[in-house]
């Protein structure tokens, strides 16, 4: 269940929110935002916007309304669903401001007080903006959220972790696991750079920069590339090495059924249009008990060993996501494989 009285999706820099006609009026509470907003009405009749110290104003279709930052406001229900588009004057938040936001959201407590539903919208908006800027597929991913916290120096700020993971339906433990993995990656990369800089001299990094003799600041994605190249060069690890030997054929792959797996079939059709043909799928709901392979470990190993080569956006009537096409190594042999990613839920295809 959503923590907010609306459903939301993003189109470019625009937020599209839909409020149900059946939302309880008690959930349309007074609140304020930390950035100026321009709200355009796309659907709905009889809904009203009330800004502090003002009488309610009926919202008109196609009209745009300005809501200044830090101004209390609320919605009053009308007839039918209300759909609005929100453009925001983005506010860049410093790390110290983020920490202050977290303290305000908890009201001085180490965890959210019982019965309090208000999460700092500024923290959420800053994270959503960061996700969009970095071109991540979804904010509801523990690895993406971990990257945000590591980049902002908030890897030990467990109050912030609790706020964000709870809001996006994630587990704090999963976020911490990915934070620790990324910190380990950074440490390994620093050791690689410190001991093997000569072997990387002249390497062209993403963005066109080259590694030279002197130290240089590089991004997390560049560090990951260096680590991956080093691991491939030194050991050519197979995706399944840590599992003790099962191969792709040992996993409980299934053929997509036309009725129950329509979205998977649609994604496979889209992939085939781009030259990648697949007929079988695998995800966390597959029957791993029959395969004798631990499902969680197998899916984690596949994800860790996957080398992405192409992304294909796709959309059906009830979901949208991206198909990532790439390879994994198995027994030293490169195998083609794909993964359908919808809001962080992955379905592997081959």
- Confidence band, pLDDT 50/70/90 cuts, at residue 338: very high
Q: For residue 114, what pLDDT is reported? A: 36
Are 103 and 122 spatial neighbours (Cβ–Cβ below 8 Å)? Answer: no
Closest CA to 246 of 211, 293, 286: 293
Least confident among 80-89, 140-149, 242-251, 279-288? 242-251
96 and 214 in a single domain? The answer is yes
Q: Are strands 320-330 and 333-342 parallel, antiparallel or unpaired?
A: antiparallel
Q: Residue 88, CB half-sphere, CA atoms under 13 Å: how many?
A: 20
Residue 221 structural domain: 92-235
Q: For residue 60, what pLDDT is reported? A: 94
Are 266 and 278 spatial neighbours (Cβ–Cβ below 8 Å)? Answer: no
Least confident among 137-141, 144-148, 334-338? 137-141
252 Cα distance to chain centroid: 27
For residue 281, with 0-12 CB atoms within 10 Å meaning exposed, 13-18 middle and 19 or more buried, which class applies?
A: buried
Total number of domains in the chain: 3
- Confidence band, pLDDT 50/70/90 cuts, at residue 63: very high
**What is the rounded average pLDDT of the residues 176-199?**
67
- Confidence band, pLDDT 50/70/90 cuts, at residue 270: very high
Question: Could you give the CA distance from residue 233 to residue 237 in angstroms, rounded to a whole number?
Answer: 9
274 and 174 in a single domain? The answer is no
124 and 199 in a single domain? The answer is yes
Among 235, 256, 289, identify where a domain stops: 235
Least confident among 87-96, 162-171, 249-258? 87-96
pLDDT exceeds cutoff 50 at 113: no
14 and 71 in a single domain? The answer is yes
- Confidence band, pLDDT 50/70/90 cuts, at residue 323: very high
For 327, the enclosing helix (H) or strand (E) is: strand 320-330
310 and 255 in a single domain? The answer is yes
205 Cα distance to chain centroid: 24
12 and 37 in a single domain? The answer is yes
Q: For residue 116, what pLDDT is reported? A: 34
**What is the rounded average pLDDT of the residues 43-59?**
91
120 and 208 in a single domain? The answer is yes
195 and 274 in a single domain? The answer is no
How many residues are recorded in the chain? 350
Percent of the chain whose pLDDT exceeds 70: 70
| DSSP label at residue 92 | -
Is 274 part of any domain? yes
Tokens matching residue 159: 């109050």
């Amino acid at each position: 269940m959503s923590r907010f009285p609306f459903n939301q999706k993003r189109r470019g820099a625009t937020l599209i929110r839909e409020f149900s006609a059946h939302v309880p009026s008690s959930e349309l509470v007074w609140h304020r935002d930390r950035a100026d907003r321009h709200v355009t009405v796309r659907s709905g009749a009889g809904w009203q916007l009330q800004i502090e110290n003002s009488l309610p104003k009926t919202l008109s279709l196609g009209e745009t309304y300005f809501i200044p930052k830090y101004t209390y406001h609320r919605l009053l229900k009308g007839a039918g669903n209300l759909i609005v588009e929100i453009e925001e004057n983005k506010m860049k938040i410093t790390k110290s401001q983020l920490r202050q936001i977290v303290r305000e959201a908890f009201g001085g407590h180490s965890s959210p007080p019982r019965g309090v539903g208000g999460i700092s919208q500024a923290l959420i908006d800053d994270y959503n903006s960061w996700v969009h800027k970095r071109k991540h597929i979804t904010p509801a991913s523990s690895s993406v959220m971990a990257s945000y916290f590591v980049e902002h120096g908030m890897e030990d700020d467990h109050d912030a972790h609790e706020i964000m993971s709870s809001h996006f339906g994630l587990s704090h433990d999963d976020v911490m696991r990915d934070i620790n993995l990324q910190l380990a990656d950074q440490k390994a990369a620093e050791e690689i750079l410190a001991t093997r800089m000569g072997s990387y001299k002249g390497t062209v990094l993403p963005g066109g920069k080259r590694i030279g003799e002197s130290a240089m600041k590089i991004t997390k994605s560049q560090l990951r590339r260096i680590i991956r190249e080093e691991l491939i060069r030194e050991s050519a690890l197979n995706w399944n090495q840590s599992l003790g030997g099962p191969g792709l054929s040992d996993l409980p792959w299934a053929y997509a059924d036309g009725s129950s797996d329509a979205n998977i079939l649609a994604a496979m059709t889209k992939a085939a249009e781009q030259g990648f043909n697949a007929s079988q799928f695998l995800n966390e709901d597959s029957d791993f008990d029959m395969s004798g392979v631990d499902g969680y470990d197998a899916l984690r190993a596949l994800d860790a060993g996957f080398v992405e080569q192409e992304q294909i956006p796709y959309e059906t009537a009830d979901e949208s996501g991206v198909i990532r096409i790439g390879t994994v190594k198995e027994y030293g042999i490169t195998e083609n494989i794909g993964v359908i990613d919808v809001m962080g839920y992955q379905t592997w295809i081959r």
